[in-house]
Every structure is written in structure tokens, then in C-alpha cells.
């Protein structure tokens, strides 16, 4: 039976981590589920909470030796994931986990290779924090222009991939640069990409939000670098299935 691996980076999430683990452990899909949890050297007792939690799901728990950032944790998780599909899940309560099965379904049905969940592509009157909204929309617009893929929310956490794609992309970003980097690199591939609406409940910094204006500036550089400066060489593993490689591309 097919399996989906949820890659879950954790850093100092102790205040709400047990509630989150209860929700994600109960979450069901039409296929098997694997939780790949990476503690990014938390300074609180997040790791202890994870170790004590009575999981019913299959769990792979990894601990980073140093605090290396979300992107680094995702790389570690992707290597260890065994699922046919891989989804990214933050260890907070900003996203509604009930959206994940719906995002995964087009991949299960063979109708898509990558699905992004958009916080902005929806009809409800959802309120966003002004600064983050404007930064996200601006970065997404620049990414769209340079990558050639049209998204309404490039910076979304909810991204779901076929494993044979994401495991064969060479990822470099350590912090929040994963989002623009992966978007630039999938844009060069011959794949089917969908974007679907999701729910979102933004946290304030007092509630543990970690991304800052510095990460916004870094994302601006990463969008330029991965789309306009860095070529495709060195971006993909030689084991990338040929069906995803556009004709005439010499990356290896």
C-alpha cells in the first residue's frame, strides 16, 4: 500500500506541541501515513515531549546536533522518509491539518506531481497580518516572474510532492529559503503542479512565530539566485527519472 511521509521540523514548540502531536497522530489518509519528526536542537523540552508521546502512527524521530534551520531539518527528513509521497508540515497550529488529505488526493489519483496549498486562493473572508501578507505576495510575484510558474502563495508551508521528485532535487537552503529554492527547482522540471486553497490561522511573535524581516530579505536574494543566477547543473540527482527532465536539458 502506498504511504505518505509528513516531514515535521520542530524547534522550541513545547507550549503547544502535545496538542499538535495529538492532532497529527489522529489525522487519517486514504493511504498509510508516516511521521518524520526532526527536532532542530530545541532549547526547550520539545524533544522530551516527542519521545514521551504515545504515537499510534509510524514515527521516525530525528534530532539535529545543532540548530541548523528549517531547511536543513527538511533535508534530513526527506532522506529518512520512506513514503511514496512527501508533505511538509510545520509543528504549530497555523495550518489546518484537515487540508492535507485533500492536497494529497490529486497525487494519489495520478493527476498531479506536486501540490501547493494556498492561503490566498479562497473565497472566505480570512484575515491576514498585513506585513506578512504584503511580503508574501511580493515575494510570490517575483518568484512567478522569474520561475514561470504562477502561484498565489509560493511561501506556503503546505507542499506535497511525489517522492521520486523531491528526493532527487539537491536542496541547499538551511533556514526558510527552502520555499523559494524548491519552487525555482521544480519550475525547471516537466511535471504537473497544482495549487489548492487551504485554511490559515496566523500566529503572532509572542505565540512563537519565528520568521522575521531578515528572512524576507534572504528570500528576495534566494529567489534571484535560484531562478536567475544558478543554472540547473548541480540541482538534481543523476537518479532523477528521465520522464521529469525536459528534452534538451543537460544537467548531469
In a domain, 224, yes or no: yes
> Does 250 fall in a domain?
no
Q: How far is CA 176 from each of CA 111, 132, 138, 148, 208, rounded to the nearest angstrom?
A: 28, 14, 16, 21, 15
pTM of the model: 0.91
User: Which residues have CB under 8 Å from 123's CB, separation 6+?
Assistant: 197
**pLDDT tens across 93-114, in order?**
999 999 999 999 999 999 999 9
C-alpha cell at 97: 491539518
The fraction of the chain above a pLDDT of 90, given in percent, is 77
Phi-psi sector, 55: left (phi>0), alpha (psi -120 to 50), beta? beta
Residue 103 covered by a domain: yes
User: In Å, how far are 10, 28, 67, 95, 248 from 98, measured between CA atoms?
Assistant: 20, 9, 29, 9, 41
Domains in the chain, number: 1
What range defines the domain where residue 38 resides?
3-244
Q: Cell triple for residue 122?
A: 479562497
pLDDT of the residue at 206? 41
DSSP 152-187: S-TT-S-EEEEHHHHTTB-----STTHHHHHHHHHH
What is the CATH classification number for the domain harbouring 152? 3.90.550.10
Query: In the block, which residue shows the cell 528526493?
Result: 167
Predicted confidence (pLDDT) at residue 38 exceeds the cutoff of 90:
yes
For residue 251, is it within any domain?
no
pLDDT of residue 217: 82
Please check whether residue 249 lies inside any domain of the structure. Answer: no
pLDDT at residue 202, as a whole number: 75
Q: Is the model's pLDDT at 81 over the cut of 50?
A: yes
CB 160 within 8 A of CB 86: yes
In this predicted structure, the answer to whether residue 204 has a pLDDT above a threshold of 80 is no
Residue 208 has pLDDT above 50, yes or no: no
C-alpha cell at 36: 518524520
Amino acid at each position: 500500500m502506498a504511504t505518505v511521509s509528513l516531514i515535521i521540523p520542530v524547534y522550541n514548540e513545547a507550549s503547544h506541541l502535545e496538542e499538535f502531536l495529538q492532532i497529527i497522530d489522529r489525522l487519517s489518509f486514504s493511504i498509510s501515513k508516516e511521521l518524520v519528526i526532526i527536532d532542530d536542537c530545541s532549547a526547550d523540552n520539545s524533544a522530551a515531549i516527542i519521545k514521551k508521546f504515545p504515537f499510534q502512527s509510524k514515527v521516525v524521530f530525528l534530532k539535529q546536533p545543532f540548530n541548523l534551520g528549517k531547511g536543513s531539518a527538511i533535508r534530513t527528513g526527506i532522506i529518512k522518509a520512506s513514503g511514496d509521497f512527501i508533505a511538509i508540515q510545520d509543528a504549530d497550529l497555523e495550518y489546518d491539518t484537515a487540508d492535507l488529505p485533500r492536497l494529497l488526493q490529486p497525487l494519489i489519483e495520478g493527476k498531479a506531481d506536486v501540490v501547493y496549498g494556498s492561503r490566498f486562493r479562497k473565497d472566505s473572508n480570512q484575515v491576514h497580518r498585513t506585513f506578512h501578507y504584503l511580503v508574501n505576495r511580493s515575494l510570490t510575484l517575483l518568484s512567478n516572474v522569474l520561475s514561470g510558474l504562477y502561484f498565489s502563495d509560493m511561501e506556503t508551508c503546505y507542499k506535497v510532492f511525489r517522492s521520486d521528485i523531491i528526493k532527487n532535487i539537491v536542496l541547499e537552503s538551511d533556514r526558510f529559503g527552502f520555499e523559494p529554492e524548491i519552487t525555482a527547482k521544480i519550475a525547471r522540471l516537466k511535471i504537473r503542479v497544482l495549487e489548492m486553497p487551504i485554511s490559515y490561522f496566523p500566529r503572532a511573535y509572542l505565540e512563537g512565530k519565528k520568521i522575521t524581516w531578515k528572512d524576507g530579505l534572504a528570500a528576495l536574494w534566494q529567489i534571484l539566485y535560484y531562478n536567475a543566477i544558478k543554472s540547473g547543473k548541480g540541482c538534481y540527482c543523476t537518479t532523477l527519472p528521465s520522464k521529469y527532465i525536459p528534452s534538451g536539458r543537460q544537467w548531469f
